[in-house]
Every structure is written in C-alpha cells, then in structure tokens.
Chains A and B, each alone.
Chain A
Amino acid sequence: MLLVIVDTIATLSGLGITAAVVLYFVAQKFKVYEDPRIDEVEEALPAANCGGCGFAGCRNFAESCVKSESFEGLYCPVGGNEVMTNVARILGREAITQDPQVAVLLCNGTCENRPKTSHYDGASTCAITSSVYGGDTGCQFGCLGHGDCVEVCDFDALHMDPVTGLPVVDDSKCTACGACVKACPKNLFELRKRAKNDRKIYVACKNQDKGGIAKKSCSVACIGCSKCFKVCPFEAITMADNLAYIDADKCRLCRKCVTECPTNAIIEIGFPPRKIKTEETAQANPDKTENKSDNNY
C-alpha cells in the first residue's frame, strides 16, 4: 500500500519537474520582447475594449500609443482627457485634449409625430429593414426603431423608449465611443460637444425631402425654411439638402432658433423653463438654475 503511494508521488513529481524544465526552456526560446510601457498604458485605459478609438481593443490602442511619436489621431473617447493625461505622463509626452462629446439622435419621429404607412414584418434589425425599403413611415431618413444602436452600446447608455419608439441616450453613461454612429444605417447619430449641464440645441431631423413632402410624413420634420439660419446671431447654422444643421462648436445656446422653427424640429434639452420674456432672460442667466432635466422629451 505504502509502495503504491510512494510510487504515485514519485511519478507525478517526476512528470511535473520534467514538464517545468521543458516549459522553462520553451519560454526562454520563444520569448518576445515587449515594451513594458504598453502594459502601463493599457493599465491606464478604461479596459472597455469598445473600439471607440478606432482600434480593435485597448491593448491595440496602447501599442499604437507607445509606438507612434505623437498622439496624432490617437484619443480614447471613453477615458477622455483625464485618461489621456495619464497616458501622456507614462510616455513623457504632451497630452492632447478634446472637448468631451455625447451622442445625439437627430430624429424626433416618434410614433405620434410620424405615422406608420406600412407594417414591417421581417427580421427586426435596422440594417435589414433599411435594405428592404426606406422604413415603415413616410420618411425614409428617420429612425427605424429596431434598436441596432442599443444592441451595440457597450455602456448601457442607450435604450428604446417604448412610447416614442426612439432610442434615448443616457448622457451620464454615454462615452462618445461612436459605436451607435457606425451602427445606425440611417446615420442618425452625431457626436456633439457636451455643453454645461448637458444642455443641447440641435435639429432633430435628417429628412432631405422638400419641405412639403417632409412635413407630410412627419409633423416635426425640418422643412429647410432657413428661418433659423436667418435668426442665428453666431452663424452656427448651415443649410444643405433641405436641412438646417447647427454646429455645436459655434452654437452659444441662445435658443433664438428654437422659437423660430415652424415645425418644432429644433430641440432644446436641459434648459430651465422659459419665462414670458424668453430669450434675453435665459441668455443672461443661463447658469442660475441647476435644473438638470433628463432627456425624456
């Protein structure tokens, strides 16, 4: 009995030692030198592996950061300036900063605003729907509502609103990784500069049809009337393809265009309720209130 136990222990130990020796030499022979800074940089990254930087994962991004001379084209949108500063410190370089951004849905074609004109009965993804036709409403530019964007969001920052049928961005969770921008077959998402208190003013429409047609299919469509363009004091609004576009970098959130829009296609979020005498008051004391509304418009 004892002999069996001794035999067993001896055999197993022998095997273990042999394997360890073999493994040691193999590891020595096939050792690959890696810049230790890659690990350090990777450590500093958010480890979300979301691909928002344009690389396959955080490791790839870290490798590229270490290998390249500058941060040209290298930015982690999820970590933002803080993480990029840390990365820059590890590599002993000057950090680059970017304004934080947030994803915004440029469509307000809710079930109410944009009545259905047909019933879609196929696999329920936006990509497949859009390969079949323009969509189940009169607007072929608007949201299809199957939630391809929700599917790709790694940060739980998007969910479908069952009442409106549109996805809603949770600003507190959105990291501007850009996955939804790529996923949307209608290109309805835009990464816009984050303003104070997550305030936003934007044209929630991408309908390029002529005004009359657009308005017929959706009551809050931008009809390209240029009224906002004319009223904007900061030249933040441009007109193209029967659409107005507000440049978030130039917009000073004065809200003049919002009241001007005849179809309510321009949306304002996060502002205090308007007083009777609207624009001037709001513009004069924009920061007095901490009333941070959530985005359920």
Chain B
Amino acid sequence: MSKLITVSPSPHIHSGQSVEKLMYGVVIAMMPAMLVSFYFFGLGAIYVTLLSVASCVGFEYLIQKFILKQKPSITDGSAIVTGILLAFNLPSSLPPFIIIVGALLAIGVGKMTFGGLGNNPFNPALVGRVFLLLSFPTRMTKYPLAEGFNTPLLIPTNDNLDAVTGATPLGLVKEGLKNGESITSIFQHNGINYTDFFMGSIGGSLGEIAAFALIIGLVYMLIKKIITWHIPVSIVATIAVFTGILWGFNPESYADPLFHILTGGVLLGAIFMATDYVTSPMNPKGQIYYGIGIGVITVVIRVFGVYPEGVSFAILIMNGFTPLINRYVKPRRFGKIS
C-alpha cells in the first residue's frame, strides 16, 4: 500500500455534530427575535446588534491572539452568540462606548479570564449586561418607545431621555404598586395589553419584547436537538406556579402569572440564556433543579426586591450553583441497586 492506514480506538464514525453547527443553530434560532427588534426599534436595533457582535468577536480575537497567544477560535460562533445575546439585553439607544465596554466585560472578564469557551462559570452576555446595569442604571433602564424606523437612533443627552423613552411593563407595575395603586388600575392607566407582549410592541431591551419570536426560536432549537426542554420549561413553570400562588392570594397587589412570564425577559432568559451549555447543569435532573432555582429567585427579586426585573440576576446566581448541582445531582444510573 502506498500510504499508511490509520489505526485508532473505537468508535470509528462520528455523528457529524460540531460546535459550529450548534452555535450557528442558536444564531438561527435567535433570528426571529432579532428581526422583531429591527422592526420595532429600527436602525437603533441594527446598530446595537452589529456593534455588539463585532466587538465581542473582535475582543475574542484580540485577546486570544495577543494576550493568550492561542490560535483564535472566533469561527466557532460562540462569540457571535454572546454578541447577539448581549445586544438582546440592551436598549436600542445606547451610546457606542457603553456597548463596547459591555462586550469587553462579557468576553474579556466573563469568558476569557476563565480560559475561554467551555470554562466560564457565568454566562458571558449576562456578565456584560449586569455590569452595565449596575454601572449605567439610567441608560440601561430607559427604553426607547417602539416606533419602528422612526425610533431615534441615538439619544445623546440626558435632558431629553425621558421624552422619547419609557419603562418596561414590569417597571410600570413596580412603580405603580409602590405608589399604592392596584394592579387593575395600573393596567388600565398604562394601557397594558397582553397581545402587545406577545407581538412585541412594548418597551424593553431588544430581545425580550416579542414572546412569539422567542417561542419560534425555542421550537427550532428543540427540533434541531440543540437544547432539551428541561431548563426552559422548569423556569417558566416555576414562575407560573409561584406567581400564581401570590396572585391567587391577592390579585390586586400581585400581577398574574401570564404577565410575569411574558414580560421582562423571562422567555429570553429561559430559552436563550439559562440554556447556555457551559453554565448550565449537565443532566436533566440537575437542569430541572437549576430551572426551579432561577424561577424562584426571579420571582423573589421581582416581587420583593428593589429591581423590577430579576431574570439576569437569577440566572447568574444559579450559574454559581451549577458546579455544585453537577457534583451532587447525578443522572439515573443504569442498574442502580436501590
């Protein structure tokens, strides 16, 4: 024989699945939500998304090439996913430097300091978002009104910030309850309408506004077997049950479960962020515990805390518990002697 034959341990075939395919699958799943954000926030959304993706990919490349001296692995698509997720968590009106700082935090601190893909304990996009939320609280909680391509691209000064932006429904409810209003009157007086939540014509960050687009993404990822149902379903179910109990207890001081599920990025978090491979538990049982944890913490923050919104914090907190869950929650072993 002219060339050498190959010898290797079994198995000798591979499914053809790859990191790239999975990551680009997630990107495809995020497309509907992205298009909805373009529709409602116009050029601002496009600019935030592009800048966020470009800076995430750019920082990953620069850090790998010049600081870690590794072969850059930006083609695997994970930086693109982080970039889009970060953009999904930002309002469309942010000045460029805030987005770049967010991307640097997400990739530099959230991912690369821990050794890059596969080693980060916390979801990088959320690290970026939470940093920005704490550093630029006004900028990060003022959302432009959804006016399609008429939405102002950049809102340069703090003076007119209030004129062209609004709060999220969750913010309105929180504010209203603080002022002693009842849920019914808050809903009436702010014109809160569930069809808008579903279709996306509400204020909010890019990715959280349209429930239907996020659900399309979920269905796509489930069909393509990119993720399993365990995490999204357990988060949503926990929130539904928990808020349902409170609502049943007093519907005038607690919003109903559907309101909680459709607003404030619960679906975005449950579908795209909590399911991040690296930072979520490794077996179905653990994933359900993780989902329940996120659900409970989210509701606690929303209902009893200062912030109107708690999904990001809940996911980050449960990310911290992931190694513990992996250590002590084991899959059901075959032939376990009970």
Contacts and interface: CB of A to CB of B under 8 A. Distances in A.
Q: Do chains A and B touch in the complex (CB under 8 A)?
A: yes
Interface of A: 116-123, 128, 131-133, 136
Nearest to A115: B4
Interface of B: 4-9
B5 A119 contact: yes
A128 B7 CA distance: 12
A8 B303 CA distance: 33
A118 B6 contact: yes
A118 B9 contact: no
A121 B6 CA distance: 7
Nearest first, the 3 A-B pairs at minimum CB distance are A121-B8, A122-B8, A119-B4
A132 B10 CA distance: 9
A92 to B, nearest CB: 49
Contacts of B6: 118-121
**Which of B4, B5, B6, B8: most chain A Cβ within 10 A?**
B8
A7 B9 CA distance: 69
A205 to B, nearest CB: 23
A103 B4 CA distance: 33
B4 A132 contact: no
A131 B7 CA distance: 12
A111 to B, nearest CB: 13
Nearest to B9: A122
Contacts of A128: 9
B27 to A, nearest CB: 31
Nearest to A116: B4
B5 A132 contact: no
Contacts of A131: 9
B9 A123 contact: yes
20 contacts: A116-B4, A117-B4, A118-B5, A118-B7, A119-B6, A119-B7, A120-B8, A121-B6, A121-B7, A121-B8, A122-B8, A122-B9, A123-B9, A128-B9, A131-B9, A132-B7, A132-B8, A133-B7, A136-B4, A136-B7
Contacts of B9: 122-123, 128, 131-132
A235 B164 CA distance: 99
Contacts of A122: 7-9
A133 B7 CA distance: 8
A133 B10 CA distance: 12
A142 to B, nearest CB: 16
A122 to B, nearest CB: 4
Contacts of A119: 4-7
Contacts of A123: 9
A123 B5 CA distance: 17
Nearest to B4: A119
Contacts of B5: 118-119
Contacts of B8: 120-122, 132
A115 to B, nearest CB: 10
A118 to B, nearest CB: 5
A121 to B, nearest CB: 4
Nearest to A120: B7
A114 B266 CA distance: 63
Nearest to B5: A118
Contacts of A116: 4
A116 B8 CA distance: 15
B211 to A, nearest CB: 46
Contacts of B7: 118-122, 132-133, 136
B7 to A, nearest CB: 5
B14 to A, nearest CB: 12
Given A118-B4, A121-B8, A122-B7, 11 more contacts: A116-B4, A118-B6, A118-B7, A120-B6, A120-B7, A120-B8, A121-B6, A121-B7, A122-B8, A132-B9, A136-B4
